[in-house]
Amino acid sequence: MRQSHAFIPTLRDLPADAEVVSHQLMLRAGMMRQISSGVYTYLPLGYRVIKKVSEIIREEMDRAGGQELLMPALQPAELWMKTGRWDDYGPLMMKVTDRHERPFALGPTHEEVITSIVRDEVKTYKKLPFILYQIQTKFRDEYRPRFGLLRGREFIMKDAYSFDTSEEGLDRSYKAMYDAYVRIFTRCGLKFRAVEADSGAIGGKDNHEFMVLASIGEDTIAYCSSCSYAANLERAEVVHTPNPSDEEPQPLRKVTTPGVRTVAKQAEIMGIPVSKVIKNVVFSVEGKPVVVLVRGDHEVNEVKVKNFLNLTTLEMADEETIRKVFGCEPGFVSPIGIAGITVLADRAIKEMVNASTGANETDYHYLGVQPERDFHVDHYGDFRNIREGDPCPRCGAPIRFTQGIEVGHVFKLRTKYSSALGAVYQDEKGNLKEMLMGSYGIGVSRLVAAVVEQSHDENGMIWPKAIAPFAVHLVPVNIEDAEQREFAERLYGELQNQGIEVLFDDRNERAGVKFKDSDLLGIPLRVVIGTKIREGKVELKIRRTGESLEVPTRNALQEILRVWEGLE
């Protein structure tokens, strides 16, 4: 492509509302433009990368036995009402009505649609198993779209769905998709980790998230410093290592603590470590309060509480409720003397001695608190976030934290949708069975931004070879110099004859502008035709390493091909 005709509107300055580097660079490189919050146009340069990534995904999905189809974005509400999910997502689901006032969802995902299609077409085990997939636009009305393509309201997803007749079959489909994901992310040049993810109330190792390690990633990953264990913080299990205290239990006594609302202040006033404070976190579950107790130096894990209570959503009790139920300001709540209210406690609470906690009276806390003696706990469990340094649940080595961008997610759904929508088949014995499903997503547009997050420097993007918008950036320094222009034109034709995708910077611009733009666009290999053309030399420059080498013009073509082959 000739750059003088290319629609690549580069920007010199940092766009104002772009907070992360991938967002800034993709705007500055003319890869995309925002039309509304979280809604983007993929401009030609950006769309070339989207298409490259999509092709890699197609190759690996097909190799894993997937069959590509394309489902509608317009989904009749009835389908979502049948699975009971029409209202589950509130304003996150984009809804429209047609000319007859019939309600539709703009598809945020396609479990309902795909299951209804397969239900209507497959009745016998002989036609199972199979995997169907699509690459399609999704809509989710995020409250706060941000970070460019990393969290958009309209985005491109590859979503696949497997249909099996047995657990073993589902395991095979799941593994085929899991392995395909490893190949896809590797081919896209990403550094990633598969982490165990929250599988809701069902639990088990039934879903994994593929995380691109990046400091701006919204997900915190707990991973082991020595074995391969890695889990989303939401799900990372805490191994409880008992360390009973040998302190003499003191009597319970009330202490005046005016205006003391923080754990740190409370510990200071009581002259105890924060680890001897009992924090009371109050949730409201179906209108009733549930108190969850965690140690002062721990954090409550809401996903673990939600899963234990078998809920799809969990909300904190508001201040009004706390005042009404406990008769005190938040921060003074206590598990003592609240018969009839459910109390959950993290396991670490059980062995505490001479602890401190609220007194259910504003400006008062207790000291000398003994769990079991002074208050009742309905259930002890793992209700806290794991912390850096805690023992790995698999091997005991210290846990570390890192941030990740979720680019893939694989789920075992089993019969969740086939039972709700009646996707059944006749097995060998003629019995009706529900199909066992899996669902597998990749955020295609998010993946492109994640690559930029991981692969850039202060001058711009650095595209991995497999998904670069072009292979070679051909840059004659002075297009008005006949010798430079003629050699560049010839090389342009020869490279294209070899099937090499070339962006030919034939603009009449100063050298500095050309090199700055070339660094910004991040095309892996630059060929510079400059004044050395008179000595029969051109320069090759590798964008990732900055390494450059001079080659004689007579074998410029095969040198470019050789260096290109050697790039990763």
| Shorter beta-carbon distance to ligand 9G3: residue 129 or 408 | 408
Min dist CB 34 to ligand 9G3, Å, is: 21
User: Encoding tokens for residue 315?
Assistant: 């909300």
| Shorter beta-carbon distance to ligand 9G3: residue 109 or 301 | 109
| Shorter beta-carbon distance to ligand 9G3: residue 439 or 518 | 439
Only one of the segments 89-97, 237-245, 320-328, 396-404 lies at the binding site for ligand 9G3 (rule: CB under 6 A); that segment is 89-97
Residue type, 424: V
Compute how many other C-beta atoms are within 10 angstroms of the C-beta atom of residue 87. Answer: 9
Q: How many helices (H) and strands (E) does the chain have?
A: 13, 31
Q: Among all residues, whose Cβ is closest to ligand 9G3?
A: 441
Does 438 participate in binding ligand 9G3 (rule CB under 6 A)? no
| Shorter beta-carbon distance to ligand 9G3: residue 113 or 352 | 113
| Shorter beta-carbon distance to ligand 9G3: residue 35 or 92 | 92
* Residue 374: partners with Cβ closer than 8 Å, 6 or more residues away: 252, 336, 366
555 alpha carbon, distance to own chain's centre: 46
Min dist CB 71 to ligand 9G3, Å, is: 11
Does 200 participate in binding ligand 9G3 (rule CB under 6 A)? no
* Residue 492: partners with Cβ closer than 8 Å, 6 or more residues away: 474, 502, 504
> Do 258 and 365 contact (CB within 8 A), yes or no?
no
Does 132 participate in binding ligand 9G3 (rule CB under 6 A)? no
Residue type, 448: V
Distance between CA atoms of 131 and 164, rounded to whole angstroms? 9
Does 178 participate in binding ligand 9G3 (rule CB under 6 A)? no
Does 360 participate in binding ligand 9G3 (rule CB under 6 A)? no
Distance between CA atoms of 165 and 118, rounded to whole angstroms? 13
| Shorter beta-carbon distance to ligand 9G3: residue 9 or 84 | 84
Distance between CA atoms of 391 and 373, rounded to whole angstroms? 30
Min dist CB 440 to ligand 9G3, Å, is: 6
| Shorter beta-carbon distance to ligand 9G3: residue 14 or 96 | 96
Select from 439, 454, 455, 518 the one that contacts ligand 9G3 (CB under 6 A): 439
Does 109 participate in binding ligand 9G3 (rule CB under 6 A)? yes
Element (H, E) at 461: strand 460-461
Distance between CA atoms of 4 and 231, rounded to whole angstroms? 49
Select from 441, 443, 469, 522 the one that contacts ligand 9G3 (CB under 6 A): 441
User: Total residues at the site for ligand 9G3 (CB under 6 A)?
Assistant: 14
258 alpha carbon, distance to own chain's centre: 43
User: Encoding tokens for residue 223?
Assistant: 């991973």
| Shorter beta-carbon distance to ligand 9G3: residue 382 or 406 | 406
Q: What are phi and psi of 244, to 5 degrees?
A: -60, 145
CA 307 → CA 204, 231, 310, 401, distances in Å?
Answer: 12, 16, 5, 23
276-305: which residues touch ligand 9G3 (CB under 6 A)?
none
Element (H, E) at 533: none
Distance between CA atoms of 77 and 458, rounded to whole angstroms? 48
Min dist CB 531 to ligand 9G3, Å, is: 55
Cα angle 329, 290, 318; round to 5: 40
456 alpha carbon, distance to own chain's centre: 20
Min dist CB 89 to ligand 9G3, Å, is: 4
Only one of the segments 11-19, 104-112, 244-252, 418-426 lies at the binding site for ligand 9G3 (rule: CB under 6 A); that segment is 104-112
Min dist CB 441 to ligand 9G3, Å, is: 2
Closest C-alpha among 380, 280, 263, 279 to residue 326 = 280
Residue span 390-409 as binding mask against ligand 9G3, x where in contact by CB under 6 A, dash where not: -------------------x
| Shorter beta-carbon distance to ligand 9G3: residue 411 or 492 | 411
Min dist CB 37 to ligand 9G3, Å, is: 16
Residue span 337-356 as binding mask against ligand 9G3, x where in contact by CB under 6 A, dash where not: --------------------
Closest C-alpha among 26, 61, 62, 68 to residue 47 = 26
| Shorter beta-carbon distance to ligand 9G3: residue 30 or 441 | 441
Map residue 433 onto helix, strand or coil. strand
Does 443 participate in binding ligand 9G3 (rule CB under 6 A)? no
| Shorter beta-carbon distance to ligand 9G3: residue 326 or 411 | 411
| Shorter beta-carbon distance to ligand 9G3: residue 61 or 93 | 93
Map residue 438 onto helix, strand or coil. strand
Does 92 participate in binding ligand 9G3 (rule CB under 6 A)? yes
Select from 46, 66, 108, 358 the one that contacts ligand 9G3 (CB under 6 A): 108
* Residue 196: partners with Cβ closer than 8 Å, 6 or more residues away: 205, 207, 208, 230, 231, 232, 235, 236
Sign of the dihedral through C-alpha 255, 257, 262, 267 = negative
Closest C-alpha among 30, 23, 399, 460 to residue 238 = 399
| Shorter beta-carbon distance to ligand 9G3: residue 234 or 517 | 234
Does 140 participate in binding ligand 9G3 (rule CB under 6 A)? yes
Only one of the segments 183-191, 192-200, 282-290, 436-444 lies at the binding site for ligand 9G3 (rule: CB under 6 A); that segment is 436-444
Q: Enumerate binding residues for ligand 9G3 (CB under 6 A).
A: 85, 89, 92-93, 108-109, 111, 140, 159, 409, 411, 439-441
